[in-house]
Amino acid sequence: MATRLSSEDIEARLRERPRWRLVDGKLFRKLKFQDFVEAFGFMTRVALRAEAMNHHPEWSNVWNTVRISLATHDVAGISELDFSLAEQIDACCAGS
Please state, rounded to an integer, the average pLDDT across all residues of the chain: 94
Q: Look at the chain and report how many structural domains it folds into.
A: 1
Residue 93 reports pLDDT greater than 90: no
Residue 96 reports pLDDT greater than 80: no
Residues 43-76: tens digit of each pLDDT: 999 999 999 999 999 999 999 999 999 999 999 9
Residues 1-10: tens digit of each pLDDT: 789 999 999 9
pLDDT at 80: 96
1 belongs to a structural domain: no
2 belongs to a structural domain: no
Secondary structure of 38-94 in HEC code, one letter for each residue: HHHHHHHHHHHHHHHHCCCCEEEEECCEEEEEECEHHHCECEHHHHHHHHHHHHHCC
Domain that holds residue 87: 7-92
* DSSP letter, residue 31: E
Whether this prediction's pTM lies above 0.85 is answered by yes
